[in-house]
Amino acid sequence: MTSSSLAIRPARDSDSEPLAALIAASFAEYPNCLFEWSEFPELRRPASHFAGKGGRLWVVDAPDGGIAASLGATPVPEQNAVEITKVYAAPAFRGSGLAQALFAEALAFAQDGGFDAMMLWSDTRFARGHRFYEKLGFRRWPGERYLADVSATWEYHFRLDLTGAR
């Protein structure tokens, strides 16, 4: 399946269940990486959550009625940056260019807003995702954080400088 046959659209609050299913399935690929609804209250009304923070969440519908991929962007004004979150793609859509197309939406959002950087935090177990972020130009930033969640998650910090892109 190619990304050109699938359309990116803004998320809706009604995407709650299929978005949660995409994330839960992604977590299930890793040992001791568990999805617990209580740790993701923003998924109950995802579009409203991102809009309330001045951000955007994009999704791509899968042919089976689920969600093939997602990516969110939220301003972090104190850092003049945009934080990228909810970056997930179902296995059948990885390597199709879909994630790059979603990232392009977030990059345009950041550039249109005049932000100096994009940043994200990623579970230390998600090595494939880290390679993807580095391919996009993100660099691993000093520091890790522990979430104290059901999965005992540690995360790496990544940043992409946008000041040279203007």
| Residue 53: alpha-carbon gap to chain centroid | 15
Q: Which residues of 80-93 are buried (b: 16+ CB within 10 A; e: fewer)?
A: ebbbbbbbbbbeeb
Residue 73, phi-psi category: left (phi > 0), alpha (psi -120 to 50), beta (remainder): beta
Here the CATH number for the domain that contains residue 55 is: 3.40.630.30
pLDDT band at residue 129 using 50, 70 and 90 as cut-offs: very high
Question: What range does the domain containing 107 cover?
Answer: 3-119
Residue 125, phi-psi category: left (phi > 0), alpha (psi -120 to 50), beta (remainder): alpha
pLDDT at 164: 74
pLDDT in tens, 131-156: 999 999 999 999 899 999 999 999 99
Task: Please indicate, yes or no, if residue 125 is contained in any of the structural domains.
Answer: no
Q: How many domains does the chain have?
A: 1
pTM (2 d.p.): 0.92
Q: Is 50 exceeded by the pLDDT of residue 57?
A: yes
Task: Please indicate, yes or no, if residue 48 is contained in any of the structural domains.
Answer: yes
